[in-house]
């Protein structure tokens, strides 16, 4: 057998082994690309189309399970439809999240309402999008400080996530590859301030630190770590306001969440990799039904989930690690 014939056979085998597109999905694929402003080179389109089709199958399977009452939440095709599981994991924090010593001030005789939504008070800023930068940790920290600033001054000022990305590298954070909310809070406290989004806008990539003290709009006096249980988390949320938390957000069902109370069987309470803001809690149906949830604000834009928010199962053994890593500042 000549080399040319041998190579031809290999090419034929590769072509036969390559997944063929499902042509019945052509119109849906083109519509999805238009709606999400996606453009590719010819070779990249083949690869992205294959990933997208696998995600379509996964969503259809989940929807079928919903029909059999196997799930309590829905997922949908969104802007992340052409991303692999590994690419989506890169959008979450790659750094291991650990806490140092911190003391939460637990007050006595706190009245706990049946439901709570801090958005109703006006202290939660609009949802933003981190894009392809794994800076959820910075969005979570900035959002919690925004809420505390509003509670103190009545002014809701979007704070600079970019300031945190650029200036906490020396604290051990890894900019768009992950970071620790604890050290971000340390930076703001030690630095004596944080700029606003208006003066230090988000660029979704690491730049050199350009913080200017005269442009600082907020300082934090101290910050606290909440004990790792849902009861303490609820009391802190009621007493102090929105809280920066971290969860296991590494699953495909999380990235494509649409609505309902999220409960992913694969979620781990000891593996946390995505920073979000806890803004409330409640229940669906009758309180006795046990369909209780935590309400979180994500940083994937308003097109994700419930206009940028998600309900996570509450009272189910620290589901997805909601109470594992929780902090709040005092301004």
Place of tokens 């102090």: 240
Interval 85-99 mean pLDDT: 52
The more confident residue out of 81 and 67 is 81
Min mean pLDDT across 38-47, 109-118, 176-185 is at 38-47
What was the pLDDT predicted at 229? 93
In this model, does residue 125 exceed pLDDT 60?
yes
* pLDDT score for 86: 63
Instruction: Identify whether the C-beta of residue 309 lies closer than 8 Å to the C-beta of residue 296.
Output: yes
Average pLDDT score, the chain = 85
What is the pLDDT averaged over residues 297-307?
Answer: 95
Section 86-107 average pLDDT: 52
Does residue 126 register a pLDDT over 80? Answer: yes
Cβ atoms of residues 283 and 115 within 8 Å: yes
pLDDT of 49 reads 82
- What is the reported pLDDT for 323? 96
**pLDDT score, position 26:** 78
Residue 103's pLDDT is 54
What is the phi/psi pair of residue 306, to 5°?
A: -95, 75
- Indicate which residues carry an active-site annotation: 136, 274, 298
The model's pLDDT over 8-41, given as tens digits with 9 standing for 90+, comes to 433 434 433 446 777 778 788 888 788 878 888 8
- Say what the pLDDT of residue 21 is: 75
User: Does residue 328 register a pLDDT over 90?
Assistant: yes
Tens-digit pLDDT profile for residues 259-293:
999 999 899 888 889 999 999 999 998 777 779 99
Model confidence pLDDT, tens digit, residues 189-216: 999 999 999 999 999 999 999 999 999 9
Question: What confidence score (pLDDT) does residue 150 get?
Answer: 97
Give the domains, in start order, of the chain with CATH numbers: 13-71 (no CATH), 85-330 (3.90.70.10)
HSE-CB at 161 with a 13 A cutoff on CA atoms is 26
């Amino acid at each position: 057998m000549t080399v040319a014939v041998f190579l031809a056979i290999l090419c034929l085998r590769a072509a036969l082994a390559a997944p063929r597109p499902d042509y019945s999905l052509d119109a849906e694929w083109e519509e999805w690309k238009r709606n999400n402003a996606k453009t590719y080179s010819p070779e990249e389109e083949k690869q992205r189309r294959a990933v997208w089709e696998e995600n379509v199958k996964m969503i259809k399977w989940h929807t079928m399970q919903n029909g059999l009452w196997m799930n309590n939440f829905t997922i949908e095709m969104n802007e992340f439809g052409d991303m692999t599981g590994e690419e989506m994991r890169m959008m979450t924090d790659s750094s291991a999240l650990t806490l140092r010593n911190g003391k939460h001030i637990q007050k006595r005789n706190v009245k706990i309402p049946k439901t709570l939504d801090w958005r109703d008070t006006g202290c939660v800023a609009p949802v933003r999008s981190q894009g392809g930068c794994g800076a959820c940790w910075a969005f979570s920290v900035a959002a919690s400080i925004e809420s505390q600033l509003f509670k103190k001054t009545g002014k809701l000022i979007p704070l600079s996530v970019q300031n945190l990305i650029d200036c906490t590298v020396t604290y051990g954070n890894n900019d768009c590859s992950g970071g620790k909310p604890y050290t971000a809070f340390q930076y703001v406290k030690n630095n004596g301030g944080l700029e606003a989004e208006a003066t230090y806008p988000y660029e979704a990539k690491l730049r050199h630190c350009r913080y200017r003290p005269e442009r600082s709009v907020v300082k934090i006096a101290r910050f606290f770590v909440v004990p790792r249980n849902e009861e303490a988390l609820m009391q802190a949320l009621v007493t102090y306001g929105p809280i920066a938390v971290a969860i296991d957000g590494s699953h495909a069902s999380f990235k494509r969440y649409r609505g309902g109370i999220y409960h992913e069987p694969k979620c781990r309470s000891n593996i946390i990799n995505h920073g979000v803001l806890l803004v409330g809690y409640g229940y669906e149906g009758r309180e006795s039904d046990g369909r209780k949830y935590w309400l979180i604000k994500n940083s994937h834009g308003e097109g994700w989930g419930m206009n940028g928010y998600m309900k996570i199962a509450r009272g189910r053994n620290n589901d997805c690690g909601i109470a594992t890593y929780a902090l709040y500042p005092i301004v």
